[in-house]
Chain A
Amino acid sequence: DAKTTQPPSMDCAEGRAANLPCNHSTISGNEYVYWYRQIHSQGPQYIIHGLKNNETNEMASLIITEDRKSSTLILPHATLRDTAVYYCIVRVVGLSSGYSTLTFGKGTMLLVSP
């Protein structure tokens, strides 16, 4: 099961910042938080990931709370092309395999409007 909780949908006006929340209260000390997005009919696109510190790249910023139980993905200036389903994922090691994978939940459908 996914270890995260996200709102099913959010709206954002074009040009404004989009702040997407994620709760991961059972996260363990060595588990990373990953964010992906999926535009309809396409493969998931990697956005950003982090462990403890806040992270920023050309696409977005990731703010992780000090207790690591929640995080926020920030798209600083949303455009219409940012309309997509956004997935917050805690990457874990599989109990049976010992290998780490991504378990996707339902994500947040972000609709950016003019």
Chain B
Amino acid sequence: ETGVTQTPRHLVMGMTNKKSLKCEQHLGHNAMYWYKQSAKKPLELMFVYSLEERVENNSVPSRFSPECPNSSHLFLHLHTLQPEDSALYLCASSQDAGGLGNTIYFGEGSWLTVV
């Protein structure tokens, strides 16, 4: 248990569907992150939120829409995805987004399959 919980763990969606991934952290952290891990590729940073404000958007297509309503929750809204978007989506959090010595903790991930 890392204190970062992701739901659902597995999701299958069609290319015309709209779905959302949810992340909740119980660590009192102020920064949250979305990462993507495609098959046989390194983890890629998608978004960074600090105190509910998006501070990094790593050239992610608009079909991925993040939302951070408060410092404990982070969503990734998905719409009109492509099969190549199938991947493991990982949420993470840290005390803040600036400190190099602040550990980033990951959730277990949400496996997404786009059909």
A residues at B contact (CB < 8 Å): 2, 30-32, 34, 36, 41-46, 49, 51, 91-94, 96-107
Contact = CB atoms under 8 A, between A and B. Distances in A.
Interface of B: 2, 4, 6, 31, 33, 42-45, 48, 50, 55-56, 88, 90, 92, 97-109, 111
Given A97-B55, A104-B42, A45 B106 contact: yes
Contacts of B92: 43
B100 A99 contact: no
Given A43-B2, A43-B90, A101-B56, A30 B108 contact: no
A105 to B, nearest CB: 6
A27 B106 CA distance: 24
Contacts of B33: 101
A106 B109 CA distance: 18
Contact of B109 (A30, A42, A46, A96): A42
